[in-house]
Amino acid sequence: MVNENLVKDVVKEPYKYGFVTDIETEKIAKGLNEDIIRLISEKKEEPEYLLDFRLKAFKKWQTMDEPDWAGLGYKQIDYQDIIYYSAPKQKEKISSLDEVDPKLLETFDKLGIPLTEQKKLTNVAVDAVFDSVSIATTFREELAEHGVIFCSISEAVKNHSDLIEKYLGTVVPASDNYFAALNSAVFSDGSFVYIPKGVTCPMDLSSYFRINSGDSGQFERTLIIAEESSSVSYLEGCTAPMFDTNTLHAAVVELIALDDASIKYSTVQNWYAGDEEGIGGIFNFVTKRGKCLGKRSKISWSQVETGSAITWKYPSCLLLGEESVGEFYSVALTNNLQKADTGTKMIHIGPKTKSTIVSKGISAGKSINSYRGLVKMGTKAKGSRNYSQCDSMLIGDQASANTFPYIKSQQPNSEIEHEASTCRISEDQLFYLQSRGIEFEEAVSMMVSGFCRDVFNQLPMEFAAEADKLLALKLEGSVG
Amino acid sequence: MQSKMKESDPILEVKNLSASTDNLPILKGVSLTVYPGEIHAIMGRNGCGKSTLSKIIAGHPSYNITNGDIKFLGENINSLEPEERAQLGIFLGFQYPIEIPGVSNLEFLRVSTNARRKFLNKEELDTFDFEELVKEKLEIVKMDHAFLSRSVNQGFSGGEKKRNEILQMALLEPKIAILDETDSGLDIDALRIVAAGIKKISNAQTGIILITHYQRLLDEIEPNYVHVMSDGQIIKTGESDLALELEKKGYEWTDNFIKET
């Protein structure tokens, strides 16, 4: 009955998604220069304007310095040692899933994302991205009946070039920051969503990003456009194999909501986090931003960040439209030697705009977990309001938590409210739960999910359950 | 005193128990045997080791057993985890019940009840069945249903916290309950409710250890035995009149006792 090693045993439980798919891949040479960018663009048969976009971004990137203001202290990245395009070899043109390499289908099966007609998830359409390319997108015909476009961004470049040309880079300009510039120069694939006017997307849309090769970076790009009075809920999941080297993931996500449109973007990020000594893991340097362009438009970010050696991201909202609404709900959990610097920027530009920020950071092991956020009220943001709540939970005595809330207001007729708290799971709390027959691990996860409840309530149902389980798994063995 | 013949086997046997925390000895050879149906009271000055004894029986990780045994139904439980002891049927009513923000009292009660039921090979209760059960048990401690939707002990008054402890005891149906100063901080009405609750839950098969400073709880629940602790030892054991005498003469009176073996 006694199992004192229980705790130790579970710590050793390997990262469930750490396997590598043995598949023939087409990789280009390592390194980054104009020729590489031309090559990527050529492989994707891109129009001239996109090549221009890439080359301009690359020129800009060359003039920029890698930022270090977050003080994340990672080993300098050698950008010439990365492969910028890696794709599983498959037939030139795939017309149906039957032609997709079974190994790839098997991989996504193993990740819990079955793609085949018989097995696919019934209520979610999935775009599966493997290294640099999108493998398959399910439910395309069904979505098309409603006029919803859901496909890889490469495909969108070919088939919906007008939309790409109109919107790409309008929310996150190529020059926005170092990693956004890099992404703009070399992005390989990602998802594209277009919801036409008045349409409520009939099902959740989801992208699943899988990094498979160890020496290539992943630079996906997602663009979601919600036309007037439309709405969509979009989910994003990510995993990667365990390598003892760090892999760079520098994505850009752009959301655009027009009048009365609403976009809900949920992420469960579970990239490989490195081992207990901090060897390996993904550098997750991501720029995510939404533009509430229309009146009464709404963009809601919810994220559960559990993976990556380093997470550096601030899903943000530009609130331009009158009475537009921005939301950010975040749970960031770090363990061992992970570092997370995450938060949001709520930029209130239009009048009567509203934003809500709820951030829950949980730090265990020797990890560092920081909330960093900006709330800005512009001169025209009369009658705008923000509410922020940033809570930190410490587990053990070697973890640290920071909160950096930046507030700038140029509009006296606006309201900004900020609350913050820090708590620690104490031995007494654990003993109390245990003394009522509740297992140690369950006691910890009960307390953690209690702490995160406000955020979990915002997640789509199936995601909330998954997030709860994921946190429990990540925390196993982190206490005591 | 406890050597007389009993009809059944003891529930709890603490034998010559010594324990320390941070290398500081707290218990120095405590022995105590509780048979089914018995109520024991432990009294003594603050810091004499009463609470420590209760925590060690429940398996608190901060203390090391340096000598002696704790047996539950004849099995040594020295190295069991707190949750395993709880599942077996050991209940500790906390002197200062712990607040757990964000965890709903109802969910907490349900998970702990099911942990015990699972151990007893009883069917685990879903939220609906549990609701029925908990309603019935709330009666015992005269608690309002609204307590269930709040976070565990958070913002509860002293009396509410103690009643919540007895509610847990009622749900877990332990074989032995150690109630650590459950009476402290209660007004007379609350004390009566709590005492009545304890009496209702206990029966001929259960054992109870009451740790207390005050006679007034013992007026409500008459103990079979009263033990006086001092400096990590039980220095005197008597029947319920010992408590009355103690109340009259104070702990100073016990300073002259040498340890009865």
> For A230-253, what is each residue's pLDDT tens digit?
999 998 887 767 777 788 889 999
Answer yes or no: is A270 within a domain: yes
Answer yes or no: is A3 within a domain: no
| A156 in Cβ contact with A179 (< 8 Å) | no
Sort out which chain B residues have CB atoms less than 8 A from A1's CB and list them. Answer: 80, 84
Answer yes or no: is A8 within a domain: no
Q: Which residues pair with A146 in a beta bridge?
A: none
DSSP tag of A174: T
Among A390, A393, A394, CA closest to A405:
A390
Chain A residue with minimum CA distance to B90: A435
Banded model confidence at residue A448, pLDDT cuts 50, 70, 90? confident
Q: Do B101 and A437 touch (CB under 8 A)?
A: no
- Could you say which of B91, B102, B111 has the minimum Cβ distance to residue A451? B102
Sort out which chain B residues have CB atoms less than 8 A from A436's CB and list them. Answer: 83, 86, 108, 112, 115, 168, 172
Residue-wise burial string across A81-109, b where 16 or more C-beta atoms lie within 10 A, e elsewhere: ebbbbbbbebeeeeeebeebbeebbebbe
Q: Do A447 and B100 touch (CB under 8 A)?
A: yes
Residue A272 to residue A17: CA distance in whole angstroms: 8
Among A180, A177, A150, A176, CA closest to A163:
A150
**Shortest Cα–Cα distance, B111 to chain A (Å):** 7
Q: Which residues pair with A26 in a beta bridge?
A: A87
Residue range A263-278: mean pLDDT, rounded: 86
Answer yes or no: is A458 within a domain: no
Span B138-185, pLDDT tens digits: 999 999 999 899 999 999 999 999 999 999 999 999 999 999 999 988
| A51 in Cβ contact with A38 (< 8 Å) | yes
| A378 in Cβ contact with A348 (< 8 Å) | yes
**Shortest Cα–Cα distance, A438 to chain B (Å):** 6
Task: For CA atoms B100, B103, B104, B106, give the dihedral sign.
Answer: negative
Total domains in chain A come to 1
Q: Do A435 and B151 touch (CB under 8 A)?
A: no
Answer yes or no: is A473 within a domain: no
- Could you say which of B79, B84, B100 has the minimum Cβ distance to residue A429? B100
Residue B138 to residue A197: CA distance in whole angstroms: 54
Q: Does A5 touch chain B (CB under 8 A)?
A: no
Sort out which chain A residues have CB atoms less than 8 A from B87's CB and list them. Answer: 437
Answer yes or no: is A445 within a domain: no
Residue A234 to residue A460: CA distance in whole angstroms: 9
Span A146-169, pLDDT tens digits: 999 999 899 999 999 999 999 999
Domain limits at A49? 16-427
Answer yes or no: is A304 within a domain: yes
- Beta strands at B64-72 and B75-76: parallel, antiparallel or unpaired: antiparallel
Answer yes or no: is A470 within a domain: no
Span A281-311, pLDDT tens digits: 888 999 999 999 999 999 999 998 888 889 9
| A226 in Cβ contact with A195 (< 8 Å) | yes
Q: Which residues pair with A292 in a beta bridge?
A: A257, A319
Q: Do B103 and A434 touch (CB under 8 A)?
A: no
